[in-house]
Amino acid sequence: MSNTIQFNATPDLQKQCGMWLESLTVENRLSPHTVTSYARDLTQFLDFLADHYARPPALADMSSLQLADLRAFLAARRHSGAQSRSLNRSVSGLRNFARFLERRDTPVSPAFNLLSVPKTTRSLPRPVARNDALAMIRLALESASAVWVGRRDAALLCLLYGAGLRVSEALQLDVKSLPPTQDRALRILGKGNKERQVPLLPIIRQTLDDYIRAAPFGFAPEDPVFRGIRGGRLSARQTQMMVAGLRRTLGLADTVTPHALRHSFASHLLAAGGDLRTIQELLGHRQLSSTQIYTEVDAQSLRDVYDKVHPRARGS
C-alpha cells in the first residue's frame, strides 16, 4: 500500500513514511484498516506542514518541529470536523512514526511525546435486542433472492450474535478453519494475531452446515466460508449492506450494525450471569477494561426498565 501513496514531502521523508507503513503491516501486524487510517492521518499531517512551511516538509524538519506546530495541526483537524477519537488516533500514529524514526537514528523533536491526547467522551455500545437479532436472522432466511444466500446470511448473523465474532474474523474464515462436526470449538485468529477458542452452539453449527450444503459451488479447504454470488470472499461492505436492508425492513435503529451483534453477544451473556473474565476471553479483548464497559450497558438497561415502571416515571 505504501508504494501507492504519494506523500506531500521531499524524497527522503517520503521514503521513511513508506518504510514506516510497511513496518506496521509486517512487524506490528496491524490490520489493513488500521494501517490505512494511519496512512491517511500521516498524509493530512504532511499536507498541513507543506502549507505551514509553504514547501514540502523534509526529513530534517521532524527534528525542528515545535509543540505549537503539532497543536496547530490538531486544531486544524478539529476545525475541519474531526472528532476526539480521530484526533487520538492521529496523535498515536504520529508518536509511532516518531519512535520509528528514532529507532533508525533519525533526530526527532521531543514535541511528539509532549503532545497531549484530546479528551474523549466514552460512548456505551448499543447492543441489538434479542428479539430484534432473531427477527433479522429469520428475515434473512425468508427474504433472500436465493435459498443458499438466505442460509449464508443467516449463518453469518448467527456467528456474529451467537459467538461474538468480529465481522472481519467471520469473513476471514476458510473452510479448513471449521472444526470437525464432533468438535464444537472454533479457533479464531483475532487482533494482534491473538488466537482464541470460541464454542459453537449446535444451532450455529447447523446453520453453517445448511448453508454449505445449499451453496451452488464446492468448498475446498482453502476456500472462504462466506462467499459472494460469484464465489469470491464476501466483503465487509456487502455484509453491512445486507444488515442495513434487514434493518430498514424491520424498522430498526441505524445503530443496528454487524458489529452491534457482537455487542449483543457480550451484553446478553453478561445479563445471563456470565463472568467478565470468560467474556473477555470469548471476545478476544486484551484488557479487561474493554470488557467492563458491558457492565455499564447492563446497568443502563436496568435503569431504563426502572424508569419505565417506577410510579414517579409514569407521572403518578
Residue 39 shares a structural domain with residue 152: no
Q: Which amino acid is at 8?
A: N
Residue 101 shares a structural domain with residue 138: no
- Least reliable range by pLDDT among 65-69, 259-263, 290-294, 298-302: 298-302
Active site residues: 166, 191, 259, 262, 285, 294
pLDDT at res. 152? 94
Q: Distance between CA 279 and CA 294 in Å, rounded?
A: 10
CB–CB of 123/176 below 8 Å?
no
User: Does the residue 277 lie in any domain?
Assistant: no
Question: Could you give the angle at which helices 258-271 and 147-163 cross, rounded to 10 degrees?
Answer: 50
Q: Which CATH number goes with the domain that contains 135?
A: 1.10.443.10
Residue 86 shares a structural domain with residue 137: no
| Boundary-marking domain end, from 90, 114, 138 | 114
Helices (H) and strands (E) in the chain, counts: 13, 2
User: Does the residue 311 lie in any domain?
Assistant: no
Residue 23 shares a structural domain with residue 83: yes
User: Does the residue 65 lie in any domain?
Assistant: yes
| Number of neighbours of residue 9 by Cβ within 10 angstroms | 24
- Least reliable range by pLDDT among 103-112, 122-131, 176-185, 220-229: 122-131
Residue 141 shares a structural domain with residue 248: yes
pLDDT at res. 101? 94
Residue 103 shares a structural domain with residue 137: no
pLDDT at res. 54? 93
User: Does the residue 285 lie in any domain?
Assistant: no
Residues in the chain: 316
Cell matching residue 53: 512551511
Work out the burial of residue 285: count CB atoms within 10 Å of its CB; fewer than 13 is exposed, 13-18 middle, 19 or more buried: buried
Residue 191 shares a structural domain with residue 100: no
If you average pLDDT over every residue of the chain, what do you get?
81
User: Does the residue 296 lie in any domain?
Assistant: no
- Name the band, by pLDDT with cuts 50, 70 and 90, for residue 63: very high
The DSSP result for 84-112, as a single string, is HHHHHHHHHHHHHHHHHHHHTT----THH
Residue 93 shares a structural domain with residue 173: no
Question: Could you give the angle at which helices 67-79 and 32-53 cross, rounded to 10 degrees?
Answer: 110
| Boundary-marking domain end, from 45, 80, 114 | 114
Residue 171 shares a structural domain with residue 97: no
Q: Is the pLDDT of residue 68 over 80?
A: yes
User: Does the residue 272 lie in any domain?
Assistant: no
User: Does the residue 155 lie in any domain?
Assistant: yes
Residue 239 shares a structural domain with residue 134: yes
Q: Is the pLDDT of residue 76 over 50?
A: yes
Q: How many domains does the chain have?
A: 2
| Boundary-marking domain end, from 233, 259, 285 | 259
Residue 88 shares a structural domain with residue 137: no
Higher local confidence (pLDDT), 294 or 225: 225
Q: For residue 168, give its domain range.
A: 130-259
User: Does the residue 281 lie in any domain?
Assistant: no
**pLDDT (average), residues 43-69:** 93
3 state DSSP class of 195: strand
